[in-house]
Structure 1
Amino acid sequence: MSDLRVSRAPAAGFIVVGLYWGSFAGLVPDLKAAIGASDGTFGLTMFFAALGALAAMWLAPRVDTKLGARALQGCAIALGCAFLLPGLASGPIAFTGAILLASAGSGSLDVIMNTRVSALEAASKRSLMNLNHALFSFAYAGAAVSAGFFREAGFGPLTVFAFVLVLNILLLSAMYQDAAVLEDDVTVGPSRMRRPLIWLGGIIILIAFMSEQATEAWSALHLERGLGGSAAQGALGPAILGLTMGVGRLSGQFISAHVRETYVLQVAGVIAALGLMIAASAPSLSVAYVGFATLGLGVSVMAPMAYSAVGKRVNNQQRAVIITRISVIGYMGFFIGPPLMGSLSEAFGLSISFYTIGVILLLVSVLLAPQLRKQ
């Protein structure tokens, strides 16, 4: 509980982001049907929407400086208002604009809360990143399940997002944080950056986010369309992913105190790849659930371990800028994932899409984590 008190403000931000994206994942079949999009078109809308997140990430340090102690609150309320728009969209173009704005709010909040957790880790000498990412996962799982029940009860996406906005508002007071925690993190020029470290950490996060996105956005479709599940059974796919990611990240909170992050990353890549391949080849809903659970346990620690590994290898003066840069590289996963999944699904089926992501995950174990260890 002391770790949670230390990181209370960014922790509330992680919960809010988890609530929105968990709800979105559980609502994908309804959102996709509402705009009349094919798999490829839906993937393309998400591709363009990710532009909003990347643009906002580059601007996030300025937003943080401008809003100061209110930065987390400001980004959270902007995110909440923007997420009402996808529920109102009636076509692919309107949906793309709506989710672009929602992604922009999410991207700003993501950079600011990860930067603040990293700064708190340095100031308190505690491991906090896995705990905060675990809170995101548990919020995501709860929201995905709730979205499934809302769908079963006949409520539409707008109602669900409006309900999450109420929860968002209730958490705003916890997000107030004195920005003095970041005073030591001054901007430094690119020439002083360790570029290999940035790219290795960023690409690991990219692969982790791409894998999460693949399952978050497409698991419900795989379960409902491919295996004949109901709306509630389909929502269990992203919900199980979120729940097991939360468990994995809480475990990572303790593992990181005894095992080097790069070794954990190698093992996690293999576990995550295995999980996706089980889900892709599943003959039944229960086996697919096992696959998504295995994926969640493996992929859960990849992004927070990469953030921690990079954070330990830089000084306070570099941290804010480097966290921003590896976050921007990492969020390219949201660019790559949706169109990759959509195009492969249309051409070969969802199962082949999942197999492909599984092979990419193995690159973390074989190539990227060992190279990161040398930095």
Structure 2
Amino acid sequence: MSHGATPVAPSLSLTPSQAMRWRIAIFAVFAVTGLALATWASRMPAIKAALGIDNSHVGAMLAAAGIASIVGLSLATPVLARFGARRSMLTLMLAYAAGVAVIGVGTEVLASYPLVIAGLVLFGLGSGCTDVIMNVEATEIEQLAGKTLMPLFHAFFSLGTVLGAGAGILAVSWGVGVLGHAVAVAVAIAVIAVLAIANVPRRQAVEPGTAEPGTAWRDRLRVSLSAWAEPRTYLIGVVMLGMSFAEGAANDWLALGVVEGHGGEETLGAVGLTVFSVAMTTMRVLGGPLVDRFGRVAMLRLLAVSAAGGLTLFILAPTLPLVLLGAALWGVGASLGFPLGMSAAADDPARAAARVSAAATIGYVAFLAGPPVLGAISETIGLLNTLWIIVGLTVASGLASGAARPLRPADPS
């Protein structure tokens, strides 16, 4: 093992079968979280048309979802400390599945802008909190395996977005309304959640190695919050910021960028999001071995170039095939910033969960709060011109990527 993950002593005693079931369960949690996001993101043109709103109203909806998600992120550490991973994730996944269904009802049954916002808020609260907890789970699994696995976990999130975007293409092509589409996905998420959580080990540990089972949850919470006092947490957050912005902007605005910026049909907008998601998923599947071979910093710098170049091509391309090529390069470039930030936060196993929770919060604030800001700006300068902001942020992320260099064994922070 070279540049990627740091082998650690297992914090749990599991049989190989139990460990594999745990890994598969968290793969499933990542996948359905991506599926839920892409379900409503891929139908955003239809939601916008059904409600008769403009980009500023879309931005306000996304802002509501983003604020709710940030609240969910802030609640993740106390929720995990108080209730543990199993109960927390099951409840939260059922909550965001319900949010997806409410979006469908608000769009097609009642044509209610406030109800769609309510669905997005419910989705945001549930998915935001789940995102932190599933990353904490994934880093512990990575530590048990002793090799870089975080890109693969995030590949499953991207696979979920591919499935969600693909389902969006089929739904548009077959004339399936937003309601039927959203309710079907919500039911699927609920079923998968129950099956997956049944295979997550029962344990009480927010901070393996520092909080013994039975420790008061307030003490575990205090340990978890301590990461916010460490400068390295913020440096890793800077590395994640640009790529999280790039990924979030694609999920929320890429389809509209194809339709409104380049004159494509609604179906082609969903195709553009699918191309992005497939490229991101492919790179995340391949990323672990590449990181272990070439190192985190080198990969992050290379992919920053791909993200900036892909975004530039997407903005300036004179033909739709080049727009789709730009989307693919954009997806490749944005693929590893977030998962490698998670791995970097987990380098010291004694403080892994606290640092992962803090770093995930920084990344998700960019992922969720950034796109609504872009929506507001786009009303003044246009959607494609607004994407130049993301180009600058991806360049900054590449320049700061040295902060993700793996810790030496004796380095405490």
TM-score of the superposition, structure 1-length normalised? Answer: 0.92
Name the SS of the counterpart of 1:84 in structure 2: helix
The 2-side partners of 1:4 and 1:254 are apart by: 19
Shift of 1:309: 1.5
The alignment yields a C-alpha RMSD, in angstroms, of 2.3
Asked if 1:315 corresponds to 2:349, the answer is yes
The 2-side partners of 1:125 and 1:189 are apart by: 23
2:45 — aligned with what?
Answer: 29
Flag the 1:170–1:95 CA change in 2: closer, same or farther, 3 A.
Answer: closer
Structure 2 residues not aligned, in runs of 5+: 1-15, 212-219, 408-412
Asked if 1:241 corresponds to 2:263, the answer is no
2:189 — aligned with what?
Answer: 168
Flag the 1:353–1:191 CA change in 2: closer, same or farther, 3 A.
Answer: same
Flag the 1:227–1:189 CA change in 2: closer, same or farther, 3 A.
Answer: closer
Name the SS of the counterpart of 1:201 in structure 2: helix
Shift of 1:229: 2.0
Bigger drift between 200-209 and 251-260 goes to: 200-209
The 1-side partners of 2:226 and 2:152 are apart by: 33
Shift of 1:205: 2.5
Asked if 1:8 corresponds to 2:31, the answer is no
Bigger drift between 64-73 and 130-139 goes to: 64-73
CA contact (8 A) 1:273 1:362 kept: yes
Asked if 1:82 corresponds to 2:80, the answer is no
2:130 — aligned with what?
Answer: 109
2:78 — aligned with what?
Answer: 62
1:17 — aligned with what?
Answer: 33
Q: How many residues align?
A: 372
The 2-side partners of 1:192 and 1:135 are apart by: 27
Flag the 1:4–1:336 CA change in 2: closer, same or farther, 3 A.
Answer: same
**Residue from 69, 77, 80 that aligns with 1:53:** 69
2:6 — aligned with what?
Answer: none
CA contact (8 A) 2:38 2:165 kept: yes
Asked if 1:180 corresponds to 2:203, the answer is yes
Flag the 1:62–1:272 CA change in 2: closer, same or farther, 3 A.
Answer: same
Quick one: which amino acid aligns to residue 91 of structure 2?
G
User: Which has more radius of gyration?
Assistant: 2
Flag the 1:260–1:179 CA change in 2: closer, same or farther, 3 A.
Answer: farther
Counterpart mapping for 1:1-375 below 5 A: 5=21, 7-64=23-80, 65-66=82-83, 68-89=85-106, 90-171=111-192, 172-176=194-198, 177-180=200-203, 182=205, 184=208, 186=211, 187=220, 188=223, 195-312=230-347, 314-316=348-350, 318-366=351-399, 368-373=400-405
Quick one: which amino acid aligns to residue 102 of structure 1?
F
Quick one: which amino acid aligns to residue 71 of structure 1?
S
The 2-side partners of 1:91 and 1:149 are apart by: 25
The 1-side partners of 2:44 and 2:388 are apart by: 21
CA contact (8 A) 1:57 1:328 kept: yes
The 1-side partners of 2:256 and 2:116 are apart by: 18
CA contact (8 A) 2:104 2:183 kept: no
The 2-side partners of 1:339 and 1:16 are apart by: 23
Quick one: which amino acid aligns to residue 17 of structure 1?
T
CA contact (8 A) 1:340 1:353 kept: no
Quick one: which amino acid aligns to residue 159 of structure 1?
G
Shift of 1:315: 3.0
Flag the 1:92–1:203 CA change in 2: closer, same or farther, 3 A.
Answer: farther
Shift of 1:174: 2.3
Point out 4+ residue stretches in structure 1 off by more than 6 angstroms.
1-4
Quick one: which amino acid aligns to residue 335 of structure 2?
S
The 2-side partners of 1:58 and 1:344 are apart by: 26
Bigger drift between 195-204 and 302-311 goes to: 195-204
CA contact (8 A) 1:56 1:104 kept: yes
Shift of 1:344: 2.9
CA contact (8 A) 2:312 2:326 kept: yes
CA contact (8 A) 1:18 1:137 kept: yes
Name the SS of the counterpart of 1:207 in structure 2: helix
Quick one: which amino acid aligns to residue 292 of structure 2?
A
The 1-side partners of 2:225 and 2:184 are apart by: 43
2:217 — aligned with what?
Answer: none
TM-score of the superposition, structure 2-length normalised? Answer: 0.84
Name the SS of the counterpart of 2:102 in structure 1: coil
Quick one: which amino acid aligns to residue 101 of structure 2?
L
